[in-house]
Amino acid sequence: MINPHVSNETAKIKTVVFGLPNRGPVPSLEEAYDAKSYEAVQKGNYPSEQAVIDEMSAVLNVFKKYNIEVLRPKQLDHYNQIFARDVSFVIDDTLFVANLISDRGLETGAFEDIFKSVGDSLELMEAPIRAEGGDIILYNDILFVGTCKKENFGKFKTTRTNYEAVEYLKSRFPHKHVIPIELKKCDTNPTKGILHLDCAFQPVGKDKAIIYTEGFENKSDAGLMQEIFGKNNLFEITPEEDYYMNTNIFSLSPDLVISERNFKRLNTHLTKEWGIAVEEVPYAEISKMGGLLRCSTMPLVRE
Ligand SMILES: NC(=O)NCCC[C@H](N)C(=O)O
């Protein structure tokens, strides 16, 4: 029996669910459900099965090095199971089952044993609520929820978390400040839209964050982040860095992260300016499917 517990993005990780290195068949343009996959299909450079296996093995080695307990979903046939983050998410002591986009619907069943392992600490997000873990970002008494302009929900495949989810989480966690962040959306051009909130923002350390404010629909949300974290505690990334998903690293503790080896400016800032050690891994191929390190990890227990 596991007692799920996560209240922020950075406390020492004990147990993590890590996606499987199955990328499924290469989708057609019509089947792609995020802009980076769309672009990779269009350009003919969708990652190979072997590249995905190699990149995820490098992350597994880091988990092993730090004695982190790793759980895996059950393997499905011919299905993309890399991005465990979105399938479910822990808020405080409850494991929520996401209500995923239907294109990813089979991923939930593959988590059955993980859901069973938490006993009664399980709760379903049901229609009309739509929510995916990439949009849920915890910062202790603050809960950031990535969403989009109300009139855009359902018009894009990259709209995954709706205002019904925001309202539900407000009532479910009355002691938390639930802050919706509207994201720009575009299904075909990754430079014009943001899939999930963790593709434009993530707290690191104890009081800092990596941020891409150009991905936010409202300028006021950039101001709000400055109020919460303070200007010097925000590392603003460039459009090019966002294209490669620099916000989407994974914290093992407040002073240790796993990051992509090509994120030179970010990794230098983390180590030299913020005293956060970086385990560098190759993950650039996986980024072509619209997710990176946060997206493929789902923390079940942090300290
Ligand atoms: N949290 C995330 O941003 N997850 C990445 C999911 C990528 C996947 N291709 C999707 O569109 O759902």
Ordered DSSP codes for 120-143: T-EEE--TT--B-GGGEEEETTEE
Atom of ligand 1 nearest to the CA of 294: 1
Our mutation pick for probing the ligand 1 site, out of 23, 99, 196, counting the most ligand atoms within 8 A of Cβ, is 196
3-state helix, strand, coil in the chain (%, to 5): 35, 25, 40
Cβ pair 285, 245 in contact under 8 A = no
Strand 208-211: give its sheet, edge to edge. Answer: 201-204, 208-211, 234-236
Residue 296 within a domain? yes
Residue 154: CATH number of its domain: 3.75.10.10
- Domain residues for the domain of 165 are 13-302
Terminal C-alpha separation, the chain: 17
CA distances to 4, 81, 121, 277, 295 from 280, in Å: 27, 23, 34, 10, 16
Collapsing DSSP to helix, strand or coil, 286 comes out as helix
The DSSP symbol for 127 reads T
Residue 5 within a domain? no
Collapsing DSSP to helix, strand or coil, 157 comes out as coil
Tell me which residue has its CA closest to atom 1 in ligand 1: 134
Atom of ligand 1 nearest to the CA of 132: 1
The DSSP symbol for 76 reads P
Q: What is the largest CA-CA distance in the chain?
A: 48
ipTM value: 0.98
In this prediction, residue 194 carries a pLDDT of 98
User: How many independent structural domains does the chain possess?
Assistant: 1
> What's the CA-to-centroid distance between 83 and ligand 1, angstroms?
6
Q: 202: which 2 tokens?
A: 């993530």
Q: 């019904």: which residue's tokens?
A: 164
In this prediction, residue 266 carries a pLDDT of 98
Residue 6 within a domain? no
Residue 200 within a domain? yes
Residue 143 within a domain? yes
Our mutation pick for probing the ligand 1 site, out of 144, 295, 298, counting the most ligand atoms within 8 A of Cβ, is 295
The CB density around residue 159, as the number of other CB atoms within 10 Å, is 22
Q: How far apart are CA 178 and CA 30, in angstroms?
A: 35
Q: How far apart are CA 197 and CA 19, in angstroms?
A: 19
Residue 7 within a domain? no
Q: 229: which 2 tokens?
A: 């974290």
∠ CA(246), CA(204), CA(56), 5° rounding? Answer: 50
Residue 3 within a domain? no
pTM for the predicted model, two decimal places: 0.98
- Around ligand 1, the residues with Cβ closer than 6 Å are 33-34, 37, 83, 85-86, 104, 134, 195-196, 198-199, 289-291, 295
In this prediction, residue 217 carries a pLDDT of 98
Q: 């465990």: which residue's tokens?
A: 84
Atom of ligand 1 nearest to the CA of 289: 9
Our mutation pick for probing the ligand 1 site, out of 38, 39, 195, counting the most ligand atoms within 8 A of Cβ, is 195
Residue 164 within a domain? yes
Could you read off the pLDDT tens digit of each residue along the chain, which spans 303 residues?
999 999 999 999 999 999 999 999 999 999 999 999 999 999 999 999 999 999 999 999 999 999 999 999 999 999 999 999 999 999 999 999 999 999 999 999 999 999 999 999 999 999 999 999 999 999 999 999 999 999 999 999 999 999 999 999 999 999 999 999 999 999 999 999 999 999 999 999 999 999 999 999 999 999 999 999 999 999 999 999 999 999 999 999 999 999 999 999 999 999 999 999 999 999 999 999 999 999 999 999 999
The CB density around residue 223, as the number of other CB atoms within 10 Å, is 11
